Structure 1
């Protein structure tokens, strides 16, 4: 009986080690937060070797993405990729519809996103489904369908062939007392493993 128990324990340990190895390799590791912006190319191309170190230094990406930065994100399917840029943020955004406004005690924050299909597949999604905002307390807020005076809203049905672009505002409703800290975006309505994050 003791011999059988030892065999079972050894088998259980082997399964546990195999599971840890799979996790270490990235299988089922969950969401990956992408907050390192793409390096920007140097403004001037120079063939002189004495200029190369300076060009490399100027193209280094900042540590954390902020407004104006572009993040390269991947979707769930191979060939599904976007360059996503948070271009502008308007706190306390005004409604362009006089009959529609934030609920009492809340305000709207508009975020202008630019999406560029850098993959080999057609991108088809409702971008607002993949966007979220968080305040400095860690509370998360989803998006809402609203038009603001800052500019046109992001379409709720975006289809981009490779190389195609989409530009528009996505609106979040947050409490007036909340301090917005980050905005995130994920492909495939937020179900992709890579999630882009920008500090506000």
Structure 2
């Protein structure tokens, strides 16, 4: 396993945040009260990063430590799963063959993200930004979604100290687009988890 490394904290690079916005800059329907979605869980080990540049090859299953701008702010962020296509639970068994909320000519995919607050104070995850990046370098923001067949959506902004928030970030992309990585925005850099979503056939 890789050794623990640190990176600078995520800054507010996403759009303005409201009470119904999910962590990492994506809107979420019916976001819960602070801490409602936080869950206890085993803290994953962090991946190695180049300490000067903050860069390294991160893959699904890898975690990275993130240090905040304020004293006592520490996170461990990991990507633990991916699914393509992403199917909402309420569409299963319906007459429609696909989700009715999906825009024509697009598909939805999702990435399962876990955020563990390893620090000593609550953390406001709305300060982060996330994008699915395609092979042409275009970035796609998370979209609002109902719970998926694979689990619930990542919701809530405030993660209490010692707690974990985990859920799916959903992205809507053109049908033939190949998504190659998940990018999390940091204060003056970014961290990229390599993904392997194939284009639709």
* Interval of TM-score (by shorter of Structure 1 and Structure 2): 0.5 to 0.7
For normalisation by structure 2, the TM-score amounts to 0.61
Secondary structure of the residue aligned to 1:144 is: coil
Q: What's the CA shift for 1:153?
A: 0.8
Task: Report the RMSD for the aligned CA atoms in angstroms.
Answer: 2.6
CA contact (8 A) 2:47 2:58 kept: no
Change (3 A) 1:80 1:194: farther
Q: What's the CA shift for 1:194?
A: 4.9
1:166 aligns with 2:127: no
Aligned to 1:81: 74
Q: What's the CA shift for 1:167?
A: 1.0
CA contact (8 A) 1:73 1:194 kept: no
CA contact (8 A) 1:90 1:110 kept: yes
Q: Which has more radius of gyration? A: 1
Aligned to 2:110: 110
* Structure 2: segments with no counterpart, 5+ residues: 1-12, 14-44, 49-55, 92-98, 196-201
For normalisation by structure 1, the TM-score amounts to 0.61
1:65 aligns with 2:73: no
1:91 aligns with 2:87: no
> In proportion to residue count, which structure has more helix?
1
Number of residue pairs matched? 138
Question: Aligned runs of 1:2-151 on 2, under 5 Å?
Answer: 38-39=46-47, 63-98=56-91, 100-126=100-126, 130-147=129-146, 148-151=148-151
Q: What's the CA shift for 1:130?
A: 1.8
| Highest RCO, 1 vs 2 (Cα 8 Å, sep ≥ 6) | 2
Secondary structure of the residue aligned to 1:97 is: helix
Change (3 A) 1:89 1:39: closer
Q: What's the CA shift for 1:39?
A: 4.5
* Structure 1: segments with no counterpart, 5+ residues: 1-30, 32-36, 41-62
Change (3 A) 1:115 1:91: same
CA contact (8 A) 2:125 2:159 kept: no
Q: What's the CA shift for 1:108?
A: 0.7
Change (3 A) 1:162 1:102: same
Change (3 A) 1:126 1:100: farther
